[in-house]
Chains A and B, each alone.
Chain A
């Protein structure tokens, strides 16, 4: 059972990379020369968390399709877990983004394309859990949730490409098809943090999947003894 609910090697690897990325960000990467100044240091976790949140929603999209094809509960569990973690990461993106916005632009919030579409992502995936809570029958709940997860995912690429196709906003586009838009000494810190955050997501998904399986087993046992 211990193996089922823990992923110590992944957590350790994620921790090492995240701490390394952070140390490099503060000790090796230069201070941003633009108006952002020191507050640009927020970028080294803010951007990886944002990419990881969108990755989690991508995983839920794939899980939803696989569930509708197979009706296998494991894909429903993966959908729930990845959306829950995607929301946790999204909350972090919004919070750190607002702090960075205040420091860099002088305002906590602006209704520009990237921020607005990301807020919409948060609302859509919060609605996913509201939907799950109002359907009692397990298979119907999983089916409705899978369909909703597919529809909600439409906003994810819109959010990702918002700064590229709708350049009217204040949010910068750092990585484009023509390059990273930052010196190598900044990119190495960002890249290590990015890998660390992705590993953290994988570790948390593994752990939470174990919890969901355990929860299902407890529910089955309760059912079998008439609890």
Chain B
């Protein structure tokens, strides 16, 4: 096998590694952002709601 032929296989392997790791990293980053947004909205909802009967309200 020539160096040029070998280089194609090597490039393909490293491209797959890079692509999978980058995609995983950015997917988890998107997930973090979505969860933080949900958390903020839910906390706002909890503060907005009047205290239920029997709760002290403080």
Contact = CB atoms under 8 A, between A and B. Distances in A.
B39 A99 contact: no
B9 A39 contact: yes
A211 B9 contact: no
Contacts of A225: 42, 45-46, 49
B6 interface: yes
Contacts of A166: none
Contacts of A38: 1, 3, 5-7, 10
Contacts of A102: 9
A103 to B, nearest CB: 4
Nearest to A98: B13
B31 A211 contact: yes
Interface in B8-25: 9-10, 12-14, 16-17, 20-21, 24
B35 A218 contact: yes
In the complex, which of the residues A35, A207, A221 has the most CB atoms of chain B within 10 Å of its own CB atom?
Answer: A221
A221 B9 contact: no
Contacts of A200: 21
Interface size classification for chain A: 35 or more
B contacts with A: majority SS: helix
A99 B46 contact: no
B36 A99 contact: no
A99 B3 CA distance: 15
A91 B9 CA distance: 17
A100 B13 contact: yes
Contacts of B58: none
Contacts of B35: 211, 214-215, 218
Contacts of A92: 16-17, 20-21
Nearest to A26: B10
Contacts of A227: 42
Contact of B42 (A22, A39, A91, A218): A218
A218 B3 CA distance: 53
A99 B14 CA distance: 10
A39 B6 contact: yes
A95 interface: yes
A41 B9 CA distance: 9
B32 A37 contact: no
A38 B8 CA distance: 10
Contact of A208 (B5, B17, B28, B49): B28
A35 B6 CA distance: 11
Interface of B: 1, 3, 5-7, 9-10, 12-14, 16-17, 20-21, 24, 28, 31-32, 35-36, 38-39, 42-43, 45-46, 49
Nearest 3 pairs of A and B residues by beta carbon: A38-B6, A103-B9, A221-B42
